[in-house]
Amino acid sequence: MELGRNSEGELGNGTVDDSYIPIKVTGLPRVSSIAAGYANSMALTEDGTIWAWGDNSYTQLGSIRENGEYPERIPGITNIKKITWGLGYGLGIMSDGKVWAWGWNKDTNLGIGSQQEYVSPTDVLGIDHVAEVHGESASIDALKSDGTVWEWGLEGPPKQVEGLKGVVQLNQGVGFHLAVERNGTVLTWGINDRGQLGDGTRNDRKTPVRISGLTNIIAVDGGEYHSIALQKDGILWTWGDNSYGQLGDGTSMNRNKPIRINVLRHMKENSRAKAAKMVQRG
């Protein structure tokens, strides 16, 4: 079920009419997970195929066609276990841990070894055994099953991010990155003009820096210019841009260090687990 804006057919009901109530997406097999992009949608079905609809300005629907008001299967890829949208492109992780990418390949940022600007589904070179992949930023991050983090995009093909080991969860904001290590600590790197890295400065970081004061973290996520972390006991920590009160501290003051938000502290353990999944999904 979907609702909201539908100017590019992203609700998948055969129209471009907005809807203020949930409507059923038509023509889909049994779905195991979904992903929403800026003006498009994607569904992973139980048989490991991907279906997409909505805006197709950059061939992010996986084929050359007009905007899709109905879901259509992305050709050429099967055995997919996870999906996500990037900036004008799609990403899928196969059951064997390889990554496939399609859509906008500006400056060869997809890492597929092609100079073509718009591409159909192609496997990413030099990366395998991937557990998570994120493309919300200008670069793509992948967490491998061995706990290492790899990055590719405008600076070239996949390469390992130094200083990270034992990572169990990974996420991105716009131009910055967050990682949770097995011991529950958090490391960040990237753009820091609003304090979104949480290291007490506004200095950009090319390499990961550990955030002091954060322990027992089970999930992190990045907004446009702010970050959020969930502690095992249900305490939330937020930092970065606070122009619209998104940090939840009752002010509009930016923060370059994590501040504690107690809203989830008294939740039961199973409810905190659900909250962690919500944080991970953004």
Q: pLDDT class for 272, splitting at 50, 70, 90?
A: very low
Does pLDDT of 156 surpass 90? no
Could you give phi then psi for residue 270, rounded to 5 degrees? -65, -30
Question: How many CA atoms within 13 Å lie on the side-chain side of 60?
Answer: 30
Encoded amino acid at 167, one letter: V
What whole-number distance in Å separates Cα of residue 163 and Cα of residue 161?
A: 7
Q: Percent of the chain beyond pLDDT 90? A: 61
Residues 181 and 134 in one domain: no
**Domain hosting residue 94, numbered range:** 1-155
Residue 62 confidence (pLDDT):
87
| pLDDT tens, residue by residue, 62-112 | 887 777 788 999 998 999 999 999 888 999 999 999 999 999 887 778 888
Confidence of residue 277 (pLDDT cuts 50, 70, 90): low
Whether residue 276 has pLDDT greater than 70: no
Is the distance from CB of 40 to CB of 55 less than 8 angstroms? yes
Of the residues 110, 134, 155, which one is the last residue of a structural domain?
A: 155
- Same-domain check for residues 21 and 148: yes
Give the list of residues 6+ apart from residue 165 with CB closer than 8 angstroms, or none.
147, 148, 181
Q: Strand 80-85 to strand 68-73: parallel, antiparallel, or no bridges (unpaired)? A: unpaired
Which tops the pLDDT comparison, 9 or 50? Answer: 50
In the chain, DSSP finds a helix count (H) and a strand count (E) of 1, 22
Residues 141 and 50 in one domain: yes
- List the structure tokens of 79: 């055995």
Q: Which of 155, 189, 215 is the last residue of a domain?
A: 155
* 147: CATH: 2.130.10.30
**If we measure between CA atoms, which residue out of 155, 151, 125, 128 comes closest to residue 140?**
151
